[in-house]
Amino acid sequence: DGGITQSPKYLFRKEGQNVTLSCEQNLNHDAMYWYRQDPGQGLRLIYYSQIVNDFQKGDIAEGYSVSREKKESFPLTVTSAQKNPTAFYLCASSKQVIETQYFGPGTRLLVL
Amino acid sequence: GENVEQHPSTLSVQEGDSAVIKCTYSDSASNYFPWYKQELGKRPQLIIDIRSNVGEKKDQRIAVTLNKTAKHFSLHITETQPEDSAVYFCAASVNTGGFKTIFGAGTRLFVKA
């Protein structure tokens, strides 16, 4: 399961606060992804990046932002505009898109 | 919008029996279909995948079949074991004019010893 890490494991957000979730990979993968998982539902794509300095919106990008300044890192910021942020957030990477994705251990975000 | 329907939502089998999970997708451009296994509190892990130019793929006790005409693909697990108990997700993906991937809602598989 090594190679892709996420931190923190749990994160608490106060109303009106922006919080940033970390995702790092040492697999030399070009593509990285952020997903949101809600109870009883499948994963939904928030953002993805095919290459450094490039990223694209997924299906539920509103209220989230990302950056891809380094190949190894793809942080996700949950902004105050995201009104229902409580969920399990999963980061993944793959050599290229449409190839096997490897997931991180996830960050559970809770609202105080 | 595009969607993937996955059935059943819960499946209970006796150890040694087979389990079949079915998914139907709506985007005919989809060309990559992975299956993930997620144990409680853990990350999803790919167990098998299939591309649109192949009708069937097998890896030991696990197989996936794809019917492009019907936009339907299925996961087959034979000789089930208690450690197969988990939630299984299917997905349909495409990278034409931008990457898109839609996941099914998941199937919770219980294998009774």
* 8 Å CB contact of B104 and A42: yes
The pLDDT score that the predictor gives to residue A112 is 84
The pLDDT score that the predictor gives to residue B90 is 98
The pLDDT score that the predictor gives to residue B59 is 95
3-state secondary structure of B82: helix
pLDDT in tens, B41-74: 889 999 999 999 989 999 999 999 999 999 999 9
The pLDDT score that the predictor gives to residue A2 is 56
* 8 Å CB contact of A42 and B105: yes
Query: What residues of chain A lie within 8 A of the CB of B6, using their CB?
Result: 42
Neighbours of A6 (CB within 10 A): 21
Is the confidence at residue A1, as pLDDT, over 70? Answer: no
pLDDT in tens, A81-94: 898 999 999 999 99
A37-41, A59-63, B6-10, B88-92: least confidently modelled range? A37-41
* 8 Å CB contact of A42 and B101: no
pLDDT in tens, A34-82: 999 998 888 999 999 999 999 999 999 999 999 999 999 999 999 998 9
Determine the Cα–Cα distance for residues A82 and B73; give it in Å rounded to an integer: 34
* pLDDT (average), residues B4-21: 98
Is the confidence at residue B107, as pLDDT, over 60? Answer: yes
Residues in contact with A2: Cβ distance below 8 Å, sequence separation at least 6, in sequence order: none
Query: What residues of chain A lie within 8 A of the CB of B1, using their CB?
Result: 59
Query: What residues of chain A lie within 8 A of the CB of B89, using their CB?
Result: 42-43
Q: Which residues pair with A73 in a beta bridge?
A: A24, A70
Residues A60, A14 contacting (CB under 8 angstroms): no
Determine the Cα–Cα distance for residues A24 and B29; give it in Å rounded to an integer: 31
Nearest CB to A104 within list B32, B43, B89: B43
Output Rg (C-alpha) for chain A, integer angstroms. 13
* pLDDT (average), residues A23-28: 97
Task: Provide DSSP, B29-49.
Answer: T--EEEEEEE-TTS--EEEEE
Nearest CB to A97 within list B42, B99, B106: B99
pLDDT in tens, B18-41: 999 999 999 999 999 999 999 988
The pLDDT score that the predictor gives to residue A15 is 85
* 8 Å CB contact of A45 and B106: no
The pLDDT score that the predictor gives to residue B63 is 98
Q: How far is CA B39 from CA A101, B83, B105, B108, in A?
A: 17, 9, 15, 10
User: Which of A63, A91, A81 shows the shortest CA–CA distance to A7?
Assistant: A91
The pLDDT score that the predictor gives to residue B108 is 97
